[in-house]
Amino acid sequence: MLKAIITLVFVLFTLNSEASSIVHLKRFGILSLSPSIDNLIFTFDRIDRYRFIMLNDHYWYVAVPEKIIRITTPMIPKGNVERILVRIIKGETRIFFKMEPGFKYKFRIVLSKNHHFLIIRVEKHEKENLVKSTFERKVTKLKSKPVIVIDPGHGGKDPGAMGLFGLKEKNITLSIGKYVAYFLKKDGYKVYMTRTRDTYPTLADRVRLANRVKANVFVSIHVNYAPRDRLRVKGLEVYFLNTTSDKRALELAARENGMSLSQIGDLNKIILSLIQTTKIKYSKVLASDIYRYMLIYGKQVYRSYVGKGVRQAPFYVLVGTRCPSVLVETGFINNPSDAIFLRNDRFRRALARGIAKGIEVFLKDNRISFAEPLGRSLKS
Ligand SMILES: [Zn+2]
């Protein structure tokens, strides 16, 4: 797919018009949550109303009725957006978007309560996929074996956090992940791993796999890093997806997502707009089941293994998946006592046993979570 990078910086001055008929678009960005989902985020000084018009199946525009939009930000096409054009027509500025043709697009538009942010979520569908979903739902209901996707964080060119004793996060996550898969398969579960070697699937690849195999549970495995106070900060954290205002959780999510803190802020806003309560409810239960058993099994090897709690943060890999999803931060790679044990194979196996046990308990207690695919509300 050829994507021309067009940078449009329009500063439109209209000398005669009154200040009130000008709206200022201060920032614009496209955040792609998966290959089929793009979020277009407009930051205005303030808008009261907007118009959204579909011209055909892949051409649409937004405008603020009867207002000139002063644009002081680059508008760069990305994801499934191929072109962006700005025109003044009938006294208003229209921002046109051309999507990749040949697909169906579904839109969800949210204007934030404070009237600053307009978020347009565009989801791409294959044309025939729109029809088959009823059949697909029946098949999923009949399927008895739950599908579990284990995602060892980082890999390949991305080592993740680097710690004491030459430890690299990517190696620890892979070895724990393999043990988890081993324990679950032994108990008869269907397990997929996002990687089984030292390779680098992108975050979007990982999400895509989970959705393709219709995962019922998604667990991403990571190792934490303390930017400050590494001698004191240690222990286990299990995260589920949600917005947060906690600075440390935001820093962690930024690091794990490979994003800047300001991009994380945008992700936080998006999550607010598409918050999916069923998925979050189940993810929270899954997180506490896994947390509980990781501590029980972990402490059998590492007696002073600390639990820092079940927490929430906007992690990329947890946004796009359509099933209960959590992210495990097993310990701090640069804390001396955590690092000694993270290096130890027996401890890794104990953690893996805890993760597997937590997943199994969750699946047994929450049959509804795989009888009724949660993905539907994300598709909205
Ligand atoms: Zn990580």
Rounded to the nearest angstrom, the distance between the alpha carbon of 31 and the centre of ligand 1 is 20
Q: Do residues 4 and 81 touch, judged by C-beta distance below 8 A?
A: no
Measure 279 CA to ligand 1 centroid, in angstroms.
22
Q: Quick one: 155 and 225 in the same domain?
A: yes
Taking the centre of ligand 1 as the mean of its atom positions, its distance from the CA of residue 91, in whole angstroms, is 50
Q: Which one, of 120, 4, 118, 108, lies nearest residue 69 by Cα?
A: 118
Q: How far is the CA of 167 from the centre of ligand 1 (A)?
A: 13
Q: How far does residue 57's CA lie from ligand 1's centre (Å)?
A: 39
The pLDDT assigned to 276 comes to 64
Q: How far is the CA of 99 from the centre of ligand 1 (A)?
A: 33
Q: What is the pLDDT along the chain (380 residues), one digit of tens a residue?
A: 433 333 333 333 333 444 458 999 999 988 887 788 899 999 999 998 899 998 888 899 999 988 899 999 889 999 899 999 999 888 899 999 999 888 889 998 888 888 888 999 999 888 765 444 444 444 444 456 889 999 999 999 999 999 989 999 999 999 999 999 999 999 999 999 999 999 999 988 998 899 899 999 999 999 999 999 999 999 999 999 887 778 888 888 888 888 888 887 777 777 666 656 777 888 999 999 999 999 999 999 999 999 999 998 888 878 778 889 999 999 999 999 999 999 999 999 999 999 999 999 999 887 544 434 444 333 32
Length of the chain: 380
Number of Cβ within 10 Å of residue 211's Cβ equals 18
Inside any domain, residue 138: yes
Instruction: For residue 153, report the distance from its CA to the centre of ligand 1, in Å.
Output: 5
- 290 and 145 in a common domain: yes
Residue 271 alpha carbon to ligand 1 centre in Å: 20
Alpha carbons within 13 A on the beta-carbon side of 158: 17
155 alpha carbon – ligand 1 mean position (Å): 10
Domain assignment of residue 235, yes or no: yes
The last residue of one of the domains, among 94, 128, 162, is 128
- Catalogue the long-range contacts made by 253-261 (C-beta closer than 8 Å, 24 or more residues apart): 253/313, 253/314, 253/315, 253/316, 255/161, 255/225, 256/153, 256/222, 256/315, 256/316, 256/327, 257/203, 257/314, 257/315, 257/316, 258/158, 258/203, 259/316
Q: Does 59 reside within a domain? A: yes
Amino acid 151: pLDDT: 97
Query: Which CATH number does the domain housing residue 123 bear?
Result: 2.60.40.3500
Give me ligand 1 centre to Cα 214, in Å: 24
Beta-strand ranges (E) seen in the chain are: 22-34, 37-44, 51-56, 59-63, 68-71, 81-89, 92-99, 104-111, 117-125, 147-152, 190-193, 217-224, 236-241, 307-313, 325-332
Distance from residue 364's CA to the centre of ligand 1 (Å): 29
Question: Tokens representing 136?
Answer: 């697909």
Are residues 149 and 116 part of one domain? Answer: no
Ligand 1 centre and the CA of 248: distance in Å? 14
- Give distance in angstroms: CA of 163 to centre of ligand 1: 12
164 CA to centre of ligand 1 in angstroms: 16
Distance 252 CA to ligand 1 centre (A): 9
Q: What single-letter amino acid sits at 338?
A: D
**Same domain? 145 vs 216:** yes
Structural domain harbouring 117: 19-128
Q: How far is the CA of 104 from the centre of ligand 1 (A)?
A: 35
Instruction: Identify whether 299 is part of a domain.
Output: yes
Burial 92-113 (b: 16+ CB within 10 A, else e): bbbbbbbbeeebebeeeebbee
Q: How far is the CA of 73 from the centre of ligand 1 (A)?
A: 32
User: What is the rounded CA–CA span in Å between residue 374 and residue 34?
Assistant: 17
Element (H, E) at 253: helix 247-257
**Would you tell me the crossing angle of helices 247-257 and 261-273 to the nearest 10 degrees?**
100
Last residue of a domain, one of 110, 128, 146: 128
Q: Are residues 188 and 63 in the same domain?
A: no
Whether residue 193 is found in the same domain as residue 73: no
> Distance from the CA of 218 to the center of ligand 1, in angstroms?
15
pLDDT at 204: 86
Q: Distance from the CA of 154 to the center of ligand 1, in angstroms?
A: 6
Ligand 1 centre distance from Cα of residue 200 (Å)? 13
Span from the CA of 220 to the centroid of ligand 1 (angstroms): 9
Q: Say how many Å lie between the CA of residue 14 and the centre of ligand 1.
A: 49
Instruction: Indicate the pTM of the whole model.
Output: 0.65
Judge if 275 and 324 occupy the same domain.
Answer: yes
Q: Are 82 and 108 in contact (CB under 8 A)?
A: no
Of 93, 128, 163, the position where a domain reaches its end is 128
- Do 216 and 321 reside in the same domain of the chain? yes
Are 218 and 312 in the same domain?
yes
Q: 362 and 289, same structural domain?
A: yes
Question: Are 47 and 192 in a shared domain?
Answer: no
Q: Is 9 a member of any domain?
A: no
CA of 224 to the centre of ligand 1 (A): 7
Name the domain count of the chain.
2
179 and 197 both lie in a single domain: yes
